[in-house]
Homo-oligomer: A and B are copies of this chain.
Amino acid sequence: MSSPTTSLCHATPDDILLRGRSLPREILGRASFSELFYFQLTGRDPTAGETAVLDACLIALMEHGLTPSAVSARLTFGSAPEAMQGAVAAGLLGVGSVFVGASEACAGLLVRIAGAADGAAEARALVGALRSRGERVPGFGHPLHRSEDPRAARLLAIARDHGVAAAHTAALELLARAVAAEAGRVVVMNATGAVAAVLLDAGLPAEILRGIALVARCAGLIAHIREEQLSPAMPALWHGAEAAVPYAGPADRREP
């Protein structure tokens, strides 16, 4: 095995190179955050459309209100305000299988459908297999948005308008038809499915999808911490949580 190397960054006395490009002379003032993020992730510059799609996904994932992730970050910030990084880390640790798992699983289906000779048949087979195991199809259904997830529709439109929509967006459409055929009714396509489809079509690998969500959530959590700095909600969050789960005495929950 050859010894490993890195291509991401190199500093000299006069310059800082990111993948061979001068940070002060060629990047600063020329690229947006999302453009450099894309370049560092993939080694190539995004097109304007790919940047628009990445920006849109980062925006769609940034803020979802007082999620478990945001509550953990605020509770931690109130406990250790001298270490903001700990509060952000606590919040990001909630970005796991429950939060982004569906998007990752949907991406897996889309890659298979897009790569199949007969995508529609592959979509039907995948949906059939999930249903036969009693599992839901990732990317479909929403507890609040019943007829349409407003983010999903917008994300797909952005990808289409910028000419980025391609094989994986088409695969999502095939998947939606297979889901509707199986269920006997239209099932709302949610944001997790749309995010997966448009990021894949924007050239970002499925394996890094969780990383996109982490960057977006990181920004969202900083806004929560700023709100906490200006008017602390932490005691109310804590006592609201605590009051919801009373003490039950010793007899309870003994190991069988």
Chain A contact surface mostly: helix
Contacts of A115 in B (CB 8 A): none
A158 to B95, CA, bound (A): 35
Q: A81 near B93 (CB under 8 angstroms)?
A: no
Q: How far is the CB of A34 from chain B (nearest CB, A)?
A: 5
A116 CB-CB contact with B under 8 Å: no
Copies per complex of this chain:
4
Contact of A97 among B80, B207, B229 (CB under 8 A): B80
Q: Which residue of B lies closest to A19 (CB)?
A: B250
A120 CB-CB contact with B under 8 Å: no
A83 to B86, CA, bound (A): 8
Contacts of A84 in B (CB 8 A): 210-211, 214
Contact of A203 among B33, B80, B255 (CB under 8 A): B255
- Which range holds the interface residue count of chain A? 35 or more
The 5 lowest CB-CB distance pairs between A and B, nearest first, are A80-B96, A20-B250, A240-B244, A5-B248, A43-B254
A interface residue numbers (CB < 8 A to B):
3-21, 23-25, 27-29, 31-34, 36-37, 40-44, 52, 54-56, 58-60, 62-69, 71-72, 75-76, 78-90, 92-99, 144-146, 150-151, 153-155, 157-158, 161, 203, 205, 207-208, 210-212, 214-216, 218-220, 222-227, 229-234, 236-255
- 9 extra interchain contacts, Cβ-Cβ under 8 A, other than A8-B227, A17-B250, A76-B96? A9-B63, A28-B56, A28-B151, A41-B226, A71-B75, A71-B242, A81-B97, A211-B226, A215-B215
